[in-house]
Structure 1
Amino acid sequence: MSATWTDIPYDAWRGTCAALHLYTQIAGKYKLARTPWLNHSWHATLYVSARGLTTSLIPDASGVEIEFDFLEHRVVGSAADGRKAHFALVPMSVAQFHANFLDLVAQLGGKPVFHGRPNEIPNPVPFQDDHAARPYDADAVSRFFQALVTVCCVLERFRTGYIGKVSPVHLFWGSFDLAVTRFSGRRAPLHPGGVPALPDEVTREAYSHEVSSAGFWPGGPATPFPAFYSYAYPSPDGFAKATALPAGAYFDDKLGEFILPYETVRTSNDPERALLAFLESTYQAAADLGGWDRAALECRGGEPLRPRPVDHH
């Protein structure tokens, strides 16, 4: 597919980005409330679609799917019995979006009951009480979506080179990042918790096993620019001093992870190659320093119509 590395400066759509983050939390919390728990909270995530972000099928009523349509800028709900409903993504308050969303789910025959306060945000305001006016910059959202599609495809390609346990490429609405996670297969030390507005039991279940995780943020208070990240849990000795590629990647001591600005990738001669270099070099640092059995966990990267060869011993 043709790649579109759009320019998405965070400052240009900061308010819209913050609003969209909260809107995805509302949809994600509905999915969370209706879906059986899956390891590492994978049951609650959103997925990149050809039009935006989707919940995928939620086991509520006849079967419900919610999609953020970033081409026509609306939230679309579909039910397996044929019912559909939608409302426009326009400037509004979080409280108004919340009310619209509850009505949409009800129109689909679903049960719009879920936890009503944001997660992973300091001093969270309940959705129904957040009446501040929020912008919606449709052009900025469209650019973000095009970048998200391009990044998703690269993360999917990176994912194919691993035969061990690996997550889907999915969007965590708590921190609003698109992520892919590789697992060593070994249990991890108990996570200390302490993530703002997130129960420690959720964090500890998410990090129950050793991981090397990488992904993409559009920007936020911790990194006020779009960036790729990579971290390991537990972080092995020497990880922060490891060499990360390409030039421009660095270890952020405050965040405890490697960072590569999106702009560095976007403006490089070969953005996909630059991003893959970051993903591979930081994973290899985590795996080598952590003593992972790389020979047993890795495989050739996937290609269309080419099954992975299997050796018989």
Structure 2
Amino acid sequence: MRTLNDVLRKKWIMTMTLIADSRIELPMLPSLADWQDTSATLHMWTQVAGKVRLVLSPDINHGWGSTLYVTTRGLTTSPIPYGNFSFAIDFDFIEHVLRITTTQGTCRSFALEPMSVANFYHKTMQALRELGIEIKILARPVEVEVAIPFEKDEQHSSYDAEAVTRYWHILVWVDRIFKEFRARFIGKVNPVHFFWGGFDLAVTRFSGRTAPKHPGGAPNVAARIMEEAYSHEVSSAGFWPGTGLGEAAFYAYAYPTPAGFNTYPVQPEAAYFHDKLGEFILPYEAVRTADNPAQALLSFLQATYEAAANLAKWDRPALERKVVQT
């Protein structure tokens, strides 16, 4: 009979084989200038879906009850409770369809194609009503400088299906690597999820200690939201498609930021500290073209975590999982 250690050892060997496999070819992502309009439009569409989940789902700490998740076809809200049934909103980036399904066996869908945010918003709310779901959301975006109400946003209306599919394939791969990194930590850590506010996929580790009150400052986000999101000390990393930088990149930061964080040596060589953002940055293109993309990203995640944990004196032996090696 196999013991638990045998199972863990086998899983560890399989994971190391995956990470060592340098044959994975990651897709190129168009420069932000080439798909910025599509990215901005998709950002707003995900906010509509995310806000539906936010209103109806339990208020899990740090906003975790409102996020989206990567799927084998796109992004999903996961099941949302409503009365005596549940429903989910799914972005299908293979067939390019928004699909709303319920546990009652009913479904509504419409094509994802060039359309304004206002049109998308009205179509989504109409589909929900047809499924018997009556809901009101705060219909304006967060974490953007100019918050045009969804029903009035005719400005964002682009949809480049090929670019979206490439972006989603990247999310699938990043989700895979982030989950491997998450598995190495036994302290409090979020499920790998997609924050529709910042339009980023993220994984965050917690020291277990409370943090100083966050000063706020995110555009169109109430201070109380930021205070709750950063109520405890964190080391966080994520991936976003380029807003603010002009290129897709991975990021890593700590809150509160310990002294010396910005000069801590990190890997790989292409990583650097962005003074204006206050975060470590690793361009996606540097990972995509690395001999071993998975190892390049994992080294960045581990090094930036160690920068936060070592400088802030986290209890690392109590928080990190010991890997069973052979």
TM-score class, shorter: over 0.9
Aligned partner of 1:35 in structure 2 is 57
Aligned partner of 1:185 in structure 2 is 208
- Are positions 1:123 and 2:129 aligned together? no
Q: Which residue of 111, 124, 127 maps to 1:104? A: 127
Q: Which runs of 5+ in 2 are unaligned?
A: 1-17
Aligned partner of 2:113 in structure 1 is 90
Task: Give the alignment of 1:1-313 within 5 angstroms.
Answer: 3-9=24-30, 10-61=32-83, 62-132=85-155, 134-220=157-243, 222-300=244-322
Deviation at 1:104, TM superposition (A): 1.4
User: What is the percent sequence identity of the aligned residues?
Assistant: 50
Question: SS at 1:81's partner residue?
Answer: coil
In structure 2, give the amino acid aligned to 1:21. H
In structure 2, give the amino acid aligned to 1:36. P
Deviation string 1:120-166 (CA, Å, 9 cap, x unpaired) is: 11121100011225111011111111111001100000000000000
Question: SS at 1:258's partner residue?
Answer: strand
Deviation at 1:244, TM superposition (A): 1.3
Deviation at 1:109, TM superposition (A): 1.8
Aligned partner of 1:309 in structure 2 is none
Deviation string 1:274-300 (CA, Å, 9 cap, x unpaired) is: 000000000001000011000000013
TM-score, structure 1 as length reference: 0.94
Deviation string 1:228-287 (CA, Å, 9 cap, x unpaired) is: 000000000000000110011000011010000000000010000000000000000100
TM-score, structure 2 as length reference: 0.90
Contact conserved, 1:231 with 1:258, CA < 8 A, in 2? yes
How many residue pairs end up in the alignment? 303
Question: SS at 1:282's partner residue?
Answer: helix
Contact conserved, 1:119 with 1:196, CA < 8 A, in 2? yes
Question: SS at 1:134's partner residue?
Answer: coil
Contact conserved, 1:21 with 1:176, CA < 8 A, in 2? yes
Give the Cα–Cα distance (whole angstroms) in 2 for the partners of residues 94 and 15 of structure 1: 12
Question: SS at 1:164's partner residue?
Answer: coil
Contact conserved, 1:64 with 1:108, CA < 8 A, in 2? no
Contact conserved, 2:208 with 2:232, CA < 8 A, in 1? yes
Coordinate RMSD, CA, aligned: 1.5
Runs of at least 4 residues off by over 4 Å:
1-4
Give the Cα–Cα distance (whole angstroms) in 1 for the partners of residues 33 and 169 of structure 2: 18
In structure 1, give the amino acid aligned to 2:46. T
Deviation at 1:3, TM superposition (A): 4.3
